[in-house]
């Protein structure tokens, strides 16, 4: 878990390691912890501004020592990055086994601006796909359920 405040958060017991955002050493320690753990794959959520260091580069301290596969979801892909942001994203991409983006425009930008091979990327669309509204009675009838007058529960229809 990443912490960006001087006061520690109250994480649930399943959180077993905390990285302080601006402590480069914590990223290296996290690498050691992950490599010794039973984790099979690392799913990194990358967004500029989350990780410490210039352009969020401290995350590369964690990535470069990992001995397990890394799938990185890129939440922001800059179309016209400064050289420093371009280099930072390229480092993350190089140290990741696969990249996930949320729209096909990001694939084109990564290919054309960052020169990343398309086979290293996949699109998982962001959000919920639009679906036409279907009235609730359609599903009640479909699954053989009826609602009794004044009751808020569904019971199976009588045979």
Here the CATH number for the domain that contains residue 25 is: 3.40.50.2000
In a domain, 100, yes or no: yes
User: pTM here?
Assistant: 0.75
End-to-end alpha carbon distance in the chain: 53
Q: Judge whether residue 155 has pLDDT over 50.
A: no
The stretch 13-28 carries a mean pLDDT of 91
In a domain, 149, yes or no: no
Q: Over the stretch 71-82, which tens digit does the pLDDT of each residue have?
A: 999 999 999 999
Q: Judge whether residue 7 has pLDDT over 80.
A: no
Q: Over the stretch 102-119, which tens digit does the pLDDT of each residue have?
A: 999 999 999 999 999 999
For the record, the structure tokens of 110 come out as 């990564």
Burial-class residue 115 by CB neighbours within 10 Å (0-12, 13-18, 19+): exposed
């Amino acid at each position: 878990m990443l912490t960006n405040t001087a006061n520690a958060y109250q994480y649930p017991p399943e959180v077993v390691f905390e990285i302080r955002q601006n402590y480069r050493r914590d990223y290296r320690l996290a690498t050691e912890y992950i490599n010794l753990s039973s984790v099979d794959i690392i799913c990194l959520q990358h967004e500029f501004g989350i990780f410490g260091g210039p352009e969020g580069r401290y995350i590369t301290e964690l990535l470069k020592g990992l001995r397990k596969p890394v799938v990185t979801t890129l939440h922001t892909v800059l179309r016209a990055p400064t050289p420093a942001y371009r280099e930072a994203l390229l480092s993350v991409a190089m140290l990741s086994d696969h990249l996930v983006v949320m729209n096909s425009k990001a694939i084109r930008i990564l290919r054309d601006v960052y020169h990343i091979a398309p086979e290293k990327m996949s699109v998982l669309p962001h959000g919920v796909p639009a679906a036409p509204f279907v009235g609730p009675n359609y599903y009640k009838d479909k699954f053989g359920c009826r609602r009794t007058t004044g009751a808020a529960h569904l019971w199976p229809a009588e045979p």
